[in-house]
Amino acid sequence: MQLLDGVLVSAHIKEQIKQEVQDWQANGGKKPHLAAILVGNNPASEAYVGSKVKHCEELGFDSTLLRFDSDISEDFLISEVERLNNDETIDGILVQLPLPAHISGDSVINAISPGKDVDGFHPISLGRMLLGQPTFLPATPYGIMLMLEYYKIDTTGMHCVIIGRSNIVGTPMTILMSRASNPGNATVTMCHSKTRNLREITRSADIIIAAIGRPKYVTADMVKPGAIIIDVGINRIDDSTRKSGSRLVGDVDFDNVAPLCSYITPVPKGVGLMTICGLMKNTLQAAKQAKELIG
Ligand code: GUN
């Protein structure tokens, strides 16, 4: 079994991004600038946004964090997104999800200018992705593709089983893995909470991408020996042996699955770090495209 090491791969990609930013600036380009919007104080969202802002600093990007109380109106949030759309100093906009229940995530995402949609969640971005046109890929699927590419894993002809059908991970992942490219060229099956005989299907998988959001959901009896396992889950569970009283686990029962498979991503230090790489690559691309558009 080989670990697909998010620390190693993200460090490599971040070095490339840093160098590209320096070259870009040496040629008269300006620092990429990411604006992040955080509504409320969901602890997981706080941690994700904090990490994104920290990475901007590390890679030589500017960042602006806009924080709003959870009782702001949808209209106000949309007007803030529009203000950022029209601000030429901002290259990329991300609205951390989930939003409070009274705000439509779709309406807010739809308000983001597609040229600044560095999360790749706008319908135009997703439509372009579906058609294989240049666009911003959603950060987590993008990061997974970068990881498979780094380890030169040839997925051609493999049966890829994706568990989870979210707009952010499961659904875009099906498109990318079935594309005529490598990584890609896989035969893809998407499974979800209503799938019958899930175990039968996952047992025929050469590669499993688990994005269900349930701790240790994928167990050893669901995995074919030699399979590749990509674990997208980040779940906090109680653990009285830890000082904090809890720890993070993935959607895969790592301890029992790892000995069976050929490659596996750990949680933490796996896909999560790759998501940041995807976002940062998109933001740099947005900055470069903005320059082309403005001239
Ligand atoms: N919530 C969970 N994952 C993500 C992500 O990749 N981007 C944003 N904006 N919100 C999220």
Span 28-115 CATH architecture: 3-Layer(aba) Sandwich (3.40)
The correct CATH number of 139-273 out of 3.40.630.10, 3.40.50.150, 1.10.10.10, 3.40.50.720 is 3.40.50.720
What is the β-pairing status of strands 235-238 and 246-249?
antiparallel
Instruction: Output the pLDDT for position 290.
Output: 81
Instruction: Pick the catalytic residue from 14, 91, 96, 285.
Output: 96
Average pLDDT over residues 89-95: 98
Instruction: Assess whether the C-beta atom of 140 lies below 6 angstroms from ligand 1.
Output: yes
Q: How far apart are CA 173 and CA 190, in angstroms?
A: 9
What phi, psi does 24 have (nearest 5°)? -60, -45
Given pLDDT bands bounded at 50, 70 and 90, which one contains residue 295?
A: very low
pLDDT tens column, 115-125: 999 999 999 99
The sign of the torsion formed by the CA atoms of 252, 254, 264, 54 equals positive
Q: How far apart are CA 65 and CA 57, in angstroms?
A: 12
Instruction: Assess whether the C-beta atom of 271 lies below 6 angstroms from ligand 1.
Output: no
Is there a contact between 252 and 113 (Cβ–Cβ < 8 Å)?
no
Instruction: Output the pLDDT for position 291.
Output: 63
pLDDT tens column, 214-251: 999 999 999 999 999 999 999 999 999 999 999 999 99
* Among protein residues, the one whose CA lies closest to atom 2 of ligand 1: 97
Question: CA nearest 68: which of 79, 57, 56?
Answer: 79
